[in-house]
C-alpha cells in the first residue's frame, strides 16, 4: 500500500464515521472537535449536524479561513489546559460526540497522549455519547464499538459511553 493509499483509506474511514455519528448521536449535548487543524473535519461536522453546538479545540489555529467556528466556539490553547477548564465550565457528561484527531507520526507520543487524554474524555461524554478517534484510547466507562462499524479494524476507533 502506498502512502497515498494509506491517507485515502484513513480519510475515508474518518468521513464514513462522522457521517455515521451524525445519524447516531443523541439530539442533545455538545459536539467537540479536538484538533481543528485545517478545519476539514470541523466543516464536515457542522454541515452534517446543522444547529448543533460544536466546540473546536486547537493550540495553533491555522484553519482555512472559511472553516473557523463562530466566536466563543474556538478554544485556543493546549487541550490539557483548556479541556479541564471547559469541563469545569460546562459540566461533566456534556458531550454527545467527541472527535479527536490530534496524533502525529510518533506512535509512542501518540500512546502517551491517548493515556493522558482518556480520563478527560471519559468525564466529558454523556451516557450513550460517542468518541470517534484517530487512535485507540483507554476508556473504562465506554464500550469499544469499532468492530460494529463498517470501518476496517485498526483504521479508526469508536467508543460509546455506557449508560
Binding site for ligand SAM (CB under 6 A): 35, 37-41, 57-60, 78-79, 101-102
Q: How far is CA 53 from CA 97, 98, 99, in A?
A: 11, 12, 14
Shortest Å distance, C-beta 130 to ligand SAM: 16
Residue 23 backbone class (left: φ over 0; alpha: ψ -120 to 50; beta: rest): alpha
Nearer to ligand SAM, 28 or 104 (CB): 104
Cα(34)–Cα(37) distance, integer angstroms: 9
Cβ of residue 60: shortest distance to ligand SAM, in angstroms?
A: 5
Cβ contacts of 72 within 8 Å, gap of 6 or more: none
Is the Cβ of residue 99 or residue 161 nearer to ligand SAM in the bound state? Answer: 99
Q: Which is nearer to ligand SAM, 27 or 72 (CB)?
A: 72
Query: Closest distance between ligand SAM and the C-beta of residue 102, in Å?
Result: 4
Of all residues in this chain, which one has the CB nearest to ligand SAM in the complex?
A: 37
CB closer to ligand SAM, 28 vs 60: 60
Q: How far is the CB of 127 from ligand SAM (least distance, A)?
A: 26
Specify the residue for cell string 494509506: 6
Point out which residues pair with 97 in neighbouring strands. 31, 130
Output the CA–CA distances (angstroms, integers) from residue 137 to 2, 133, 144, 159, in the order listed. 27, 8, 9, 9
Amino acid at each position: 500500500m502506498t502512502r497515498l493509499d494509506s491517507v485515502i483509506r484513513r480519510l475515508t474511514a474518518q468521513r464514513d464515521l462522522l457521517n455515521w455519528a451524525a445519524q447516531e448521536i443523541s439530539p442533545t449535548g455538545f459536539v467537540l472537535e479536538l484538533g481543528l487543524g485545517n478545519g476539514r473535519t470541523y466543516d464536515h461536522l457542522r454541515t452534517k449536524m446543522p444547529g448543533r453546538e460544536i466546540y473546536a479545540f486547537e493550540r495553533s489555529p491555522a484553519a482555512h479561513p472559511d472553516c473557523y467556528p463562530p466566536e466563543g466556539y474556538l478554544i485556543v490553547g493546549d487541550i490539557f489546559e483548556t479541556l479541564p477548564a471547559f469541563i469545569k465550565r460546562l459540566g461533566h457528561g456534556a458531550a454527545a460526540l467527541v472527535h479527536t484527531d490530534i496524533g502525529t507520526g510518533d506512535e509512542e507520543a501518540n500512546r502517551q497522549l491517548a493515556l493522558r487524554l482518556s480520563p478527560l474524555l471519559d468525564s466529558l461524554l454523556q451516557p450513550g455519547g460517542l468518541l470517534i478517534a484517530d487512535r485507540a484510547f483507554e476508556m473504562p466507562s465506554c464500550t469499544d464499538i469499532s468492530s460494529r462499524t463498517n470501518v476496517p479494524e485498526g483504521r479508526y476507533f469508536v467508543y460509546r459511553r455506557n449508560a
